[in-house]
Amino acid sequence: MKKIILNFVEKSDLYNELVQEAFNMNFLDFLVSKDTFLEFKNIDRITTYSSDLSSNAQNLIVYDVSKKPLSIDKEVRIGLYHELKSKLDEEFIVEESKKGNFDFIIVKAQDWKVIPFENLIAEMHKNDTELIASVENIKEAELMLKTLEVGTDGVLITPKEVNDIIELKKLLVTEFGVELIEAEVTALQNVPESERVCVDTTSLLKSGEGMLVGSTAKGFVLVHAEVFDTQFVSSRPFRVNAGDVSAYILVPSDDTNKNYRTKYLSELKGGDQVLVVNTNGGAKKVTVGRVKIETRPMIRLELEISKQDKKIKFNYIGQNAETIRLVNSVGTPVSIVDIKVGDKVLVHIGPEATHFGIKIKENIIER
């Protein structure tokens, strides 16, 4: 788990609201001053960081290696704060991490950020010393936590408004589970022409990954990414040929209590985020690079499942082409042109009624 250290050294006008939201989001690592430490010292679940070496914080920070305390409680962790201004600073930080004299090193880079941190992550990710990036805003936090995929071990940030803490929480929720079950194909219908949507992502998708798409919010079919080479077409592992323009697709939710919401394929555009789901139900966020909408012949599948003694029926419309694959009940991608009535494919049962992609309690009939 990445570490988010919130800077509560000074009290802003929103201090109480920020602390309360931090508790709500289960952020419990705080950088404190002599004054603010007193407010947290009796709260067992809080982990405190302080540059006041006389305090009883669990983590003490020095700005000079020569100032490291020689005699201190074994349970207290010692960290170094260092500003990175040159290549010499980068080399110094790496060397200190190799010596193992510090449990963590907080690094602030004012100008150059990405390349120095890439170098630090590459050199330090196998060491026991944690690398914490001091960042100015949410964008920098996301950049540091994801640089070189490994990312820094954590970030130190001063939240300026309550929404900053909510956005930080979203950065940590990168993968979650979506329930997949099998549904039976009960009917097939050719659709002579429709506007179909290819979702091209900025990520390379793997075998077993795809997107959940459906004609109604009742059910979504797992549509596999185009990761396979064929005799006539090269793979496009960044792409999912998702369905027709009226279909729903699962996208990340802005609500931290919900994993997803729905969006029309026709609404997607470059820069949006969508969910990629694997055959085990693992879901992650990816960014859309572009959307391609073209007229193509399609196939409409009617599907049905039995759940809690009732039958749920829903539909999916996909392009009538060999490269479009759904996933059968054992997790094998199957071309949509080979699917027959009676076959079973992996689906996700949705929230049914939605309003602008958000689940609501309302009697809506979709056929």
Distance CA 181, CA 203 (A): 26
In the chain, where are the structural domains located?
Answer: 3-172, 176-359
User: Six-digit token pair at 340?
Assistant: 């027959």
Q: Quick one: how far is CA 295 from the chain centroid?
A: 32
Distance CA 291, CA 242 (A): 10
Helix (H, G, I), strand (E, B) or coil at 26: coil
pLDDT at 75: 84
Q: Counting runs of H as helices and runs of E as strands, what totals does the chain give?
A: 6, 23
| CB 243, CB 316: distance < 8 Å | yes
| CB 168, CB 189: distance < 8 Å | no
Domain 3-172 has CATH 1.10.1040.10: no
Distance CA 210, CA 279 (A): 8
Distance CA 124, CA 154 (A): 13
State the number of CA atoms in the 13 A half-sphere of 298 facing the CB.
Answer: 22
Q: Using CB atoms within 10 A of its CB, is residue 190 exposed (0-12), middle (13-18) or buried (19+)?
A: exposed
pLDDT at 255: 73
Residue 346: closest CA among 279, 287, 299? 279
> Where do the H-state alpha helices sit in the chain?
15-24, 34-40, 87-99, 114-124, 138-146, 162-172
pLDDT at 122: 93
Q: How many CB atoms lie within 10 A of CB 238?
A: 19
Report the largest interatomic distance among the alpha carbons of the chain, rounded to a whole angstrom.
80
Tell me, yes or no, if the pTM score tops 0.75: no
Strand boundaries in 51-93, DSSP class E? 59-62, 77-84
Distance CA 357, CA 367 (A): 18
User: Six-digit token pair at 82?
Assistant: 């260092």
State the number of CA atoms in the 13 A half-sphere of 219 facing the CB.
Answer: 25
The one-digit pLDDT tens for each residue of the chain (367 residues) are 799 999 999 999 999 999 999 999 999 999 999 889 988 888 888 999 999 998 889 999 999 998 888 767 778 999 999 999 999 999 999 999 999 889 999 999 988 888 999 999 999 988 899 999 999 999 999 999 988 778 999 999 999 999 999 999 888 876 678 999 999 999 999 999 899 999 999 999 999 999 999 999 999 999 999 999 888 889 999 999 999 999 999 999 877 667 899 999 999 999 999 999 999 999 999 999 999 999 999 999 999 998 777 889 999 999 999 999 999 999 999 999 999 999 999 999 987 544 344 454 445 555 6
Q: Give the CA angle between residues 4, 8, 9 to the nearest 5°.
A: 125
pLDDT at 366: 58
Distance CA 29, CA 52 (A): 16
Place of tokens 């997607």: 268
Residue 184: closest CA among 309, 323, 322, 326? 326
Q: How many CB atoms lie within 10 A of CB 34?
A: 13
Task: Give me the sign of the Cα torsion angle 264, 265, 271, 272.
Answer: positive
